[in-house]
Amino acid sequence: MLRLLQRTPAITPETPDEALVGRAQNGENAAFRALFERHVVSVRRFLRDLLRDAHAADDSTQESFARAHAQLPKLTERDRFKPWLLGIARNVAYESRRVRVHDVFDTDTDGDEGDVPDAVIPSPNPEALLLNRELEAHFNQALSSLSENRRAALLMRLDHGLSYDDIAAALGWSIPTVKNEIHRARLKLRSLLSPHLGGSHE
Amino acid sequence: MSKCGRTHLLEAMTAGEVPAPLETELRAHASSCARCRHELSWLDSEQLLFRHRAGRDEVQHLWRGVEARTPVLRRPAINRALVGLAAAMLVLLGVGRLTVSRANGASAAQSPSTDDDELQSINELMFMSSEDPQSSCSRLTPGVGFTCGSPQSNVLASR
């Protein structure tokens, strides 16, 4: 009875993911809701970048969290919730892509774009980085030109701040593969963006 | 990418993964190394481009879809303490009623009543309605099972 009467600690923005995962694993729905609130923007943006379709991204976001809830008891490394969640999201995106009638993915799947000569990519002009709609469109287009796997790795690193270890775990790759894919993705991105960033050769 | 051999360090620096003293050292180096400066300017630019896109989405409506796919999440959050408290109150209430009814029984035994009105009220309680004695009767044919047409006589006969 005393245990039942124990007060549940309040959930605050400072409550770490690890604690929320533990509480959600014990059946506390509010803890899972807090995890949702904390990560939904990232997951949704990640899926939109992978799927390039707002509706599909919404649907896949919901599916990702539903699967995360179902698989939560299996998560042993509670402090790695975000990479785990993005790994689920990436799988959902992969499945979503497969069922779509028109495959608008992977305009660049052979992986050779990484061989863009470094010397021809000028440095960006900081003033050109004041993001406008046009530059944002170019940026999104450049991202879209990457293969899905490469894009996923790049997004996890640059947009979602995951470590190489976490990306390797989420994607099921080796760390050298992760580094190589991200390196190639970066080169491609830079070569496509440099004309719009008013770059200069140093 | 920088051919200076510090690319991975610069990259880790922009990701906030290197200690402050090393960051100071790397930035100082980059100011004098054209290759590293070039690399750093790109790394910073990439960070900025991604940061600009973040946090603009309206996504709260997606929770309903998650709930729809996860029925257990639709259950209202019930505070365990409240449940425990309610259970304790029910137990106390049950014990209290039992105690009161026993006390009433004891006082009734001390002053028995043979009042017809009291007998009538007991009959009403037993058979729900005194106006239509057949309404709560068994639908079995007369003589089979319990018939309530003349409850008192049945009860008396059983004694």
Mean pLDDT of A102-110: 48
Mean pLDDT of A37-66: 93
Last residue of a domain, one of A47, A76, A99: A99
pLDDT at B118 over 80: no
HSE, side-chain direction, 13 A CA sphere, residue A124: 26
Residues in chain B: 159
A187 touches chain B (CB under 8 A): yes
Mean pLDDT of B91-103: 75
pLDDT at B22 over 70: yes
CA pair distance A30, A43, nearest whole angstrom = 19
Residue A123: strand pairing partners: A200
* A139 and A171 inside one domain: yes
pLDDT at A155 over 90: yes
**Greater pLDDT, A191 or B154:** A191
Sign of CA dihedral B114, B118, B122, B123: positive
* A24 and A68 inside one domain: yes
pLDDT computed for residue A107 by the predictor: 46
* A158 and A184 inside one domain: yes
* A76 and A128 inside one domain: no
Give the domain CATH number at A44.
1.10.1740.10
* A34 and A83 inside one domain: yes
Mean pLDDT of B69-87: 70
* A175 and A124 inside one domain: yes
User: Can you state the angle between helices A54-71 and B62-69, rounded to 10 degrees?
Assistant: 40
Domain annotation covers residue A7: no
How many domains does one find in chain A? 2
Best residue of A25, A159, A162 to probe chain B, by most B CBs closer than 10 Å: A159
Q: Min CA distance, A101 vs chain B (Å)?
A: 23
Last residue of a domain, one of A33, A68, A99: A99
Last residue of a domain, one of A77, A99, A121: A99
Domain annotation covers residue A5: no
pLDDT computed for residue B159 by the predictor: 43
**Least confidently predicted of A143-147, B30-34, B63-67, B140-144:** B140-144
Are the Cβ atoms of B65 and A159 closer than 8 angstroms?
no
Domain annotation covers residue A1: no
* A127 and A189 inside one domain: yes
Q: Is the CB of residue B51 less than 8 Å from the CB of residue B57?
A: no
* A73 and A142 inside one domain: no
Give the domain CATH number at A127.
1.10.10.10
Q: Is the CB of residue A139 less than 8 Å from the CB of residue A193?
A: yes
* A121 and A191 inside one domain: yes
* A82 and A124 inside one domain: no
Domain annotation covers residue A147: yes
Structural domain including A175 reads 112-196
The residues, any chain, with a CB within 8 Å of residue B124's CB and separated by 6 or more, are: B130
* A128 and A174 inside one domain: yes
**Greater pLDDT, A163 or B53:** A163
Quickly list H helices, chain A: 2-5, 17-25, 29-51, 54-71, 81-99, 133-144, 148-154, 164-171, 175-193
Q: What ipTM score was computed for the predicted complex, to two decimals?
A: 0.75
- Chain A residues close to B87, C-beta within 8 Å: 4
* A75 and A118 inside one domain: no
- Chain B residues close to A36, C-beta within 8 Å: 63, 66
